[in-house]
């Protein structure tokens, strides 16, 4: 099978003109041209997971979105709209506040493009789905001819890495994402479901993925980590190909669960060497001394999922723990927990671990990073 090529360039700053030129070069390299774009309705799907400004590196930088928009306009796009369903509820007020703090309102104002505030959604079917065949999807994605998936390169507590494939989970409206976590509590099932979603979108729409890896995130991503200069910008017609190159750049070769699920379906190559990478080589862009999420550092048993029928692995898995000194009792984690296992008492969050599925949504969405990851004491002793 021939996998889609990936354009990879080094890029050290968020200078809009520099990125606009780089995107032009990359789009030419992967055959994104006037013939493809002219007259089409385009939806841009950035990563706006949280209400944080661009310098926190949790969200797609507005300079990259600007650069993509400028290129699409030159190629004759009929309409361009930015749409995203962020981490919390899918409400107009929340979407608007994310657009403002993440810099998308400025992109809209400066470049004259629309921001989606319609919170309706529809159903998309995928009969070939391995774990999931029906998805609720936000309306601008359903209406578009072409999806421009502009992701951020980050480490991720649950899925190890977040780039092109994982970014597409944001087309599922609001708190339905938590329900998907509850429906697929095992990591293997969850990543298969994400592959179903990604493949459904790639097969029903034209998909172009751009990765903002200029300043990415290391540590407790996707929201609680630390910005790190990865210095790369990537584009591809396949999110799977693009993610394989990102996996190699971060030194994760063959260990990102979503990509291994994709490899088993022949959607991604076994080795990055079989992808045509245009521009720089992944080797020349390798990131050194990357800090892993705490969940991945501690979780040595995740590689042994069948130990004691898989049940022991859950017992040994790192668990979320509330830092009671920091917690302000805002209730975001309580509302985000797919298993409803968090309660707020005396203005402090409390977790009932018997129902906890270790999805780490609470850690991802706590606005002040007061959910920490605690290692099992036996694993600690072994280590």
Residue numbers of the site for ligand SF4 (CB under 6 A)? 320, 322, 327-333, 337-339, 341-342, 344, 349, 351, 356-362, 366, 368, 370-371
d(CA 45, CA 41): 13
Q: What is the CA 262 to chain-centroid distance, rounded?
A: 16
Closest approach of Cβ 364 to ligand SF4, in Å?
8
d(CA 37, CA 10): 26
Of 268 and 366, CB closest to ligand SF4: 366
Specify the DSSP class assigned to residue 169: G
For 332, the 3-state DSSP assignment is helix
Closest approach of Cβ 224 to ligand SF4, in Å?
10
Of 114 and 323, CB closest to ligand SF4: 323
Closest approach of Cβ 372 to ligand SF4, in Å?
10
Of 250 and 327, CB closest to ligand SF4: 327
What lies within 8 Å, CB to CB, of 354 at 6+ separation is 341
Of 49 and 153, CB closest to ligand SF4: 49
Contact assessment for residue 331 and residue 190, using Cβ atoms and an 8 Å cutoff: no
Residue 23 burial (CB count, 10 A):
25
Closest approach of Cβ 182 to ligand SF4, in Å?
8
Closest approach of Cβ 357 to ligand SF4, in Å?
5
Residue 267 burial (CB count, 10 A):
20
- Cα distances from 48 to residues 30, 52, 183, 360, in angstroms, run 26, 8, 24, 18
Closest approach of Cβ 174 to ligand SF4, in Å?
15
Closest approach of Cβ 320 to ligand SF4, in Å?
5
Of 201 and 327, CB closest to ligand SF4: 327
Contact assessment for residue 11 and residue 211, using Cβ atoms and an 8 Å cutoff: no
Specify the DSSP class assigned to residue 341: -
Of 278 and 379, CB closest to ligand SF4: 379
Closest approach of Cβ 97 to ligand SF4, in Å?
17
What Rg value do the Cα atoms of the chain yield, rounded?
20
Of 272 and 342, CB closest to ligand SF4: 342
Of 167 and 370, CB closest to ligand SF4: 370
Contact assessment for residue 249 and residue 10, using Cβ atoms and an 8 Å cutoff: no
Closest approach of Cβ 221 to ligand SF4, in Å?
15
d(CA 69, CA 328): 39
Specify the DSSP class assigned to residue 229: E
Q: Are strands 226-236 and 6-10 parallel, antiparallel or unpaired?
A: antiparallel
d(CA 313, CA 299): 9
Of 245 and 359, CB closest to ligand SF4: 359
């Amino acid at each position: 099978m021939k996998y889609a090529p990936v354009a990879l360039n080094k890029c050290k700053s968020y200078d809009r003109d520099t990125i606009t030129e780089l995107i032009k070069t990359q789009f030419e390299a992967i055959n994104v041209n006037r013939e493809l774009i002219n007259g089409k309705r385009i939806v841009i799907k950035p990563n706006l997971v949280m209400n944080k400004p661009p310098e926190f590196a949790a969200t797609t930088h507005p300079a990259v979105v600007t650069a993509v928009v400028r290129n699409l306009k030159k190629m004759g796009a009929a309409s361009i709209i930015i749409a995203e369903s962020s981490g919390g509820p899918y409400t107009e007020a929340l979407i608007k506040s994310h657009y403002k703090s993440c810099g998308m309102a400025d992109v809209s104002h400066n470049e004259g493009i629309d921001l989606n505030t319609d919170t309706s959604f529809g159903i998309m079917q995928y009969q070939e789905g391995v774990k999931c065949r029906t998805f609720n999807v936000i309306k601008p994605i359903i209406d578009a001819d072409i999806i421009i998936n502009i992701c951020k390169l980050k480490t991720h507590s649950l899925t190890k890495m977040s780039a092109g494939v994982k970014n597409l989970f944001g087309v599922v409206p609001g708190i339905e994402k938590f329900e998907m976590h509850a429906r697929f509590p095992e990591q293997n099932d969850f990543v298969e479901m994400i592959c179903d979603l990604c493949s459904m979108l790639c097969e029903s729409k034209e998909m172009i993925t751009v990765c903002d890896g200029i300043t990415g995130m290391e540590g407790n991503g996707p929201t609680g980590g630390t910005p790190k200069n990865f210095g790369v910008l990537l584009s591809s017609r396949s999110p799977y190909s693009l993610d394989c190159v990102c996996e190699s750049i971060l030194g994760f070769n063959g260990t990102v669960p979503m990509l291994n699920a994709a490899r088993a379906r022949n959607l991604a190559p076994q080795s990055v060497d079989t992808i045509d990478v245009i521009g720089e080589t992944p080797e020349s862009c390798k990131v050194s001394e990357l800090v892993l999420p705490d969940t991945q550092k501690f979780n040595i048993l995740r590689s042994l999922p069948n130990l004691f029928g898989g049940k022991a692995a859950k017992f040994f898995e790192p668990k979320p723990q509330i830092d009671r000194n920091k917690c302000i009792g805002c209730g975001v984690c309580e509302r985000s927990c797919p298993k409803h296992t968090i309660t707020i008492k005396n203005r402090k969050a409390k977790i009932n671990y018997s129902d906890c599925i270790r999805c780490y949504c609470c850690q991802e969405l706590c606005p002040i990073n007061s959910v920490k990851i605690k290692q099992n004491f036996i694993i600690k002793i072994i280590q």
